[in-house]
C-alpha cells in the first residue's frame, strides 16, 4: 500500500443512506448477569417471573389486634366487645400465639397473621383493659390484612424484557430475592486515536514539536458511554500504516463496534479508506452533511466500523446525528425525548447548499421569556466550540438563507445543560472573569472590539466588555468603568535591562506580540511612533509574532522562549515576571438596554455593586 495517491470521494451518501448503513451493522452485544446493586440503569435482557409470593404470608397491614372477624360482629363504641389477649407478634417473628374463638393477638404492622385469625382491628379502634382489650368496631374478614401474594403472586410476570431498570424495578427484584439480574450487555466500543501529534492528558506536551492533547479520544468515549456503550480507548501515537493496522486489529478483537476519528478523507495521508478496502469493506465514504462530509462506514477485521471526521465538533456532531441512535438500540435504551427550544436568529445565515447543514448556535434569553440564537465565530476545528454552542439548527440542503429574526428550532446537545444566565462578549479580562464566577452558568465569548459592538447592535449579548477608546460614541453608557495597567512582561531580573519601547526597537531582544483583536495590542500600536519612522515590523524582532490569549505573551516569556512581551501587570506579577509599565487602559462594561429585566443581568449588576471595588483594590495594576 506504499505510494498511495489522492483518491476522490465516492458519490456522497444522503444522511438517511448513511444512517441506514450504520443501522445495518450488527453490534448486538448479547446478555450478561450483573449483581443487583449494579443493575440500575441497565436494560433487562429477558422476562423475570416471580419465583415466590410477595409477601409469602398473610401480613398485618396495621398495628392492632388480630381476631376472628365473626367475633367482632355488633361491636361499636357504645357496645364494645372485650377480648382476652393471648400474645403478641412483631414483624419478622414466627407467631407463637394463636387466637381461639373470642380471643385476640396483638400484632405490629408487617407481622405474620397468627393462626386462627383473619382480620386486624386497628389499635385506634380498641381500648386497653386490665383483662385484655375492648374492640369498638366490627371488622370483616381480610380487613387490615395483606394476603399472601398480594404484591406479587408466584408465577406472575414481574418485569418484561427491555425494561430500563430504575430504583423501583431494583426494589421489586430485591423483593423477589434476585441476587443477580440478566441484562443486555453494553456494546463494547473501541475508540481509536491515531496520529504522531497526539499526547494523552497527564503526559508531557511538547508544543514546539506540534503535539496536542487527544481531544477526540476522550470526548467520543464519553459520548459512547452516554449512549449506552462501554468504551475502551486505544491510541497508536503514530501515523505509520503498519502501526495503525496493528492498533485497529487489536481493537477489533474485543469490540462490537470500532470508532476512529480523522484520516477518513480523500487525502494522501488518509489511510483508513485503504485499510477498509484491504481488510474489510466500505459501505459509505462521504456523506452530504455539514459538518461531517468525510464519514466512513463499513467493516474491518470482521468488526463493524465507523470513521468519524477529525475535527472535534464535526466528530461529535456526526456521532450524535448518525451513530448514537443505533448504539442506544443495541444497548436496549430508548431514544431520549428530543430537547428543543425555539429561538429567533439574531443574524442571517447564508449557505451555498448541496448538503444538509447542522449549524452550531448559542442561545441566550432576552429577558422577556423569548430566546435569541446566534452563530459562532469559531469553526468545527476549535475545541472551545464544544462548549460555546448549545445546539444545532438544521438547514436543509436546498436552503441557501435563513434571514435574521426567523424563528428556528434548536436541537439542544443536552437538555440538562442550562442556557447561559448572562452572555458577555468582548475583551477578556481577569477581573471580569472573577466577577462572572459569582453567577450560575454565565458565558463570555472573546471578540474583537468592532465585532463585540456589532453583536450588541444585533441584540445578542447582555453586556459588552470593551476598551472605551475602541467603542463608538453611540453605544450605551457603561454600567461601570475601571482602569488596568499594561506594558511589557520581562524575565525576572531582566538581563536585558529593558525600560521602554525604545529598547525593544533598538536592542537585540526577542519580543512577542498579542493578537490584533486584543485591546492591549491596540494601545501598544497607538503608542508606537509612525511619522516618518520605520515600520515596527522592521525593527522590533517578533512584532508580527502575535499570540491569541491575553496571558499568552507573558507565558511565553516565563517559558524562556522570548525576552519580553505585551501583558497586563497582574499577569506579570502572577507569573513572577518583571514588568515595564507602558500605560493604563480604561475598560467599560456596556449593557444591552433591552436586558435590564433579565434575572442574570440583575444579578450581575448586584455583583458589581458588592464586589468590584474590593476586587480592583486586590488586583495588581487595577484602579476604579
Asked if 389 and 362 touch (Cβ cutoff 8 Å), the reply is yes
Q: Mean pLDDT throughout 199-228?
A: 83
Q: Among 3.40.190.150, 3.90.320.10, 2.170.190.11, 3.40.50.720, what is the CATH number of 59-146?
A: 2.170.190.11
Tell me how far CA of residue 467 lies from CA of 56, 184, 217, 429, 586, in angstroms.
77, 58, 40, 11, 6
Asked if 492 and 576 touch (Cβ cutoff 8 Å), the reply is yes
pLDDT of residue 475: 75
pLDDT of residue 1: 38
Q: Per-residue pLDDT for 269 more than 60?
A: no
Asked if 502 and 511 touch (Cβ cutoff 8 Å), the reply is no
Q: Per-residue pLDDT for 268 more than 70?
A: no
| Cβ-Cβ contacts under 8 Å for 615 (sequence gap 6 or more) | 431, 434, 435, 622
Q: Determine the Cα angle at 508 with ends 507 and 512, to 5°.
A: 100
Q: Mean pLDDT throughout 255-270?
A: 74
pLDDT of residue 337: 64
pLDDT of residue 4: 41
End-to-end Cα, the chain, rounded Å: 67
pLDDT of residue 198: 77
pLDDT of residue 270: 66
Q: Mean pLDDT throughout 128-136?
A: 91
Q: Mean pLDDT throughout 37-52?
A: 91
Asked if 519 and 448 touch (Cβ cutoff 8 Å), the reply is no
CATH number of 39-54+151-184: 3.90.105.10
pLDDT of residue 376: 83
| Cβ-Cβ contacts under 8 Å for 277 (sequence gap 6 or more) | none
Percent of the chain exceeding pLDDT 70 equals 93
Each residue's pLDDT tens digit, 511-532:
999 999 999 999 999 888 654 5
> Which of 80-89, 233-242, 452-461, 554-563 is least confident?
233-242
pLDDT of residue 244: 84
Q: Where in the chain is the domain with CATH 2.170.190.11?
A: 59-146
**Residue 385's pLDDT band (cuts 50, 70, 90):** low
Q: Using the CB atoms, write b or e for 130-153: b if 16+ within 10 Å.
A: eebbbbbbbbeeebbbbebbebbe
Percent of the chain exceeding pLDDT 90 equals 59
Out of 84-98, 307-321, 328-342, give the one with best mean pLDDT: 84-98
pLDDT of residue 534: 65
Q: Classify residue 251 as exposed, middle or buried by CB count within 10 Å of its CB (0-12, 13-18, 19+).
A: buried
DSSP-derived letter for residue 61 is S
pLDDT of residue 238: 64
pLDDT of residue 242: 83
* Cα separation, 287 vs 323, whole angstroms: 13
Q: Mean pLDDT throughout 612-621?
A: 96
CA atoms within 13 A on the CB side of 303: 24
pLDDT of residue 470: 60
pLDDT of residue 5: 44
* Cα separation, 72 vs 61, whole angstroms: 18
CA atoms within 13 A on the CB side of 152: 20
Alpha-carbon torsion 340, 343, 346, 348, what sign? positive
* Cα separation, 170 vs 181, whole angstroms: 9
* Cα separation, 458 vs 283, whole angstroms: 45
Q: Where in the chain is the domain with CATH 2.40.340.10?
A: 340-412
| Cβ-Cβ contacts under 8 Å for 328 (sequence gap 6 or more) | 227, 228, 334, 335
Domain 340-412 CATH superfamily: MoeA, C-terminal, domain IV (2.40.340.10)
The DSSP string of 314-365 is HHHHHIIIIIHHHHHHHHTPPPPPP-EEEEEESS-EE---SSEEEEEEEEEE
Q: Classify residue 545 as exposed, middle or buried by CB count within 10 Å of its CB (0-12, 13-18, 19+).
A: middle
pLDDT of residue 505: 86
Quick one: which of 71, 51, 61, 64 has its CA closest to 147? 61
Q: Mean pLDDT throughout 57-75?
A: 95
Q: Per-residue pLDDT for 374 more than 80?
A: yes
Q: What is the pTM of this model?
A: 0.77
Number of residues in the chain: 624
Reading phi first (left if > 0) and then psi (alpha if -120 to 50, else beta), residue 428 is in beta
Mean pLDDT score of the chain: 88
CATH number of 15-27+187-331: 3.40.980.10
Q: Mean pLDDT throughout 365-388?
A: 76
Q: Cis bond leading into 55, ω under 30°?
A: yes
CATH number of 421-624: 3.40.190.290
Q: Where in the chain is the domain with CATH 3.90.105.10?
A: 39-54+151-184
Q: Where in the chain is the domain with CATH 3.40.980.10?
A: 15-27+187-331
Amino acid at each position: 500500500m506504499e505510494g498511495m495517491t489522492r483518491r476522490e470521494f465516492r458519490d456522497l451518501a444522503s444522511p438517511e443512506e448513511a444512517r441506514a448503513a450504520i443501522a445495518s451493522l450488527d453490534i448486538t452485544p448479547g446478555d450478561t448477569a450483573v449483581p443487583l446493586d449494579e443493575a440500575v440503569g441497565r436494560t433487562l435482557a429477558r422476562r423475570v417471573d416471580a419465583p415466590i409470593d410477595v409477601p409469602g404470608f398473610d401480613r398485618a397491614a396495621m398495628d392492632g389486634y388480630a381476631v376472628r372477624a365473626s367475633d367482632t360482629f355488633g361491636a361499636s363504641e357504645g357496645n364494645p366487645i372485650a377480648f382476652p389477649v393471648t400474645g403478641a407478634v412483631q414483624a419478622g417473628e414466627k407467631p407463637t400465639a394463636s387466637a381461639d374463638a373470642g380471643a385476640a393477638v396483638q400484632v405490629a404492622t408487617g407481622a405474620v397473621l397468627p393462626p386462627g385469625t383473619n382480620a386486624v382491628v386497628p389499635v385506634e379502634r380498641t381500648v386497653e383493659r386490665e383483662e385484655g382489650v375492648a374492640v369498638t368496631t366490627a371488622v370483616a374478614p381480610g380487613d387490615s390484612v395483606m394476603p399472601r401474594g398480594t404484591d406479587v403472586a408466584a408465577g406472575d410476570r414481574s418485569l418484561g424484557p427491555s425494561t430500563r431498570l430504575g430504583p423501583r424495578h431494583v426494589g421489586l427484584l430485591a423483593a423477589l430475592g434476585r441476587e443477580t439480574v440478566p441484562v443486555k450487555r453494553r456494546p463494547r466500543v473501541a475508540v481509536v486515536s491515531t496520529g504522531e501529534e497526539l499526547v494523552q492528558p497527564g503526559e508531557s506536551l511538547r508544543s514546539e514539536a506540534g503535539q496536542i492533547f487527544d481531544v477526540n479520544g476522550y470526548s467520543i468515549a464519553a459520548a459512547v458511554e452516554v449512549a449506552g456503550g462501554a468504551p475502551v480507548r486505544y491510541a497508536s501515537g503514530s501515523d505509520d500504516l503498519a502501526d495503525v493496522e496493528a492498533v485497529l486489529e487489536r481493537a477489533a478483537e474485543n469490540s462490537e463496534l470500532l470508532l476512529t476519528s480523522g484520516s477518513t478523507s480523500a487525502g494522501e495521508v488518509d489511510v483508513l479508506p485503504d485499510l477498509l478496502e484491504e481488510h474489510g469493506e466500505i459501505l459509505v465514504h462521504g456523506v452530504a452533511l455539514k459538518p461531517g462530509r468525510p464519514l466512513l462506514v463499513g467493516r474491518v477485521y470482521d468488526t463493524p466500523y465507523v470513521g468519524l471526521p477529525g475535527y472535534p465538533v464535526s466528530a461529535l456532531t456526526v456521532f450524535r446525528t448518525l451513530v448514537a441512535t443505533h448504539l442506544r438500540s443495541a444497548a436496549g435504551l430508548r431514544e431520549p425525548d428530543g430537547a428543543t427550544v425555539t429561538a429567533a436568529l439574531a443574524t442571517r445565515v447564508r449557505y451555498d447548499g448541496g448538503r444538509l447543514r447542522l449549524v452550531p448556535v448559542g442561545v441566550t434569553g432576552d429577558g422577556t421569556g423569548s430566546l435569541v440564537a446566534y452563530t459562532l465565530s469559531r469553526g468545527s476545528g476549535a475545541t472551545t466550540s464544544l462548549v460555546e454552542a448549545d445546539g444545532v439548527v438544521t438547514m436543509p440542503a436546498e436552503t441557501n438563507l435563513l434571514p435574521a429574526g426567523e424563528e428556528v428550532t434548536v436541537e439542544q446537545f443536552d437538555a440538562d445543560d442550562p442556557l447561559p444566565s448572562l452572555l458577555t462578549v468582548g475583551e477578556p479580562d481577569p477581573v471580569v472573569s472573577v466577577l462572572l464566577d459569582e453567577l450560575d452558568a454565565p458565558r463570555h465569548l472573546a471578540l474583537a472590539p468592532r465585532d463585540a459592538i456589532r453583536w450588541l447592535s444585533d441584540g445578542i449579548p447582555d453586556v459588552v466588555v470593551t476598551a472605551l477608546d475602541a467603542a463608538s460614541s453611540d453605544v450605551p453608557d457603561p454600567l461601570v468603568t475601571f482602569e488596568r495597567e499594561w506594558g511589557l512582561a520581562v524575565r525576572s531580573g531582566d538581563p536585558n535591562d529593558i525600560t521602554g519601547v525604545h529598547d525593544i526597537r533598538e536592542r537585540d531582544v526577542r519580543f512577542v506580540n498579542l493578537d490584533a483583536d486584543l485591546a492591549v495590542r491596540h494601545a501598544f500600536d497607538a503608542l508606537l511612533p509612525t511619522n516618518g519612522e520605520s515600520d515596527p515590523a522592521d525593527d522590533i524582532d517578533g512584532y508580527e509574532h502575535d499570540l491569541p490569549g491575553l496571558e499568552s505573551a507573558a507565558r511565553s516569556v516565563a517559558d524562556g522562549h522570548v525576552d519580553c512581551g505585551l501583558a497586563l501587570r497582574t499577569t506579570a506579577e502572577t507569573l513572577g515576571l518583571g514588568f515595564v509599565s507602558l500605560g493604563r487602559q480604561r475598560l467599560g462594561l456596556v449593557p444591552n438596554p433591552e436586558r435590564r429585566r433579565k434575572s442574570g443581568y440583575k444579578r450581575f449588576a448586584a455583583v458589581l455593586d458588592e464586589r468590584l471595588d474590593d476586587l480592583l483594590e486586590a488586583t495588581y495594576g487595577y484602579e476604579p
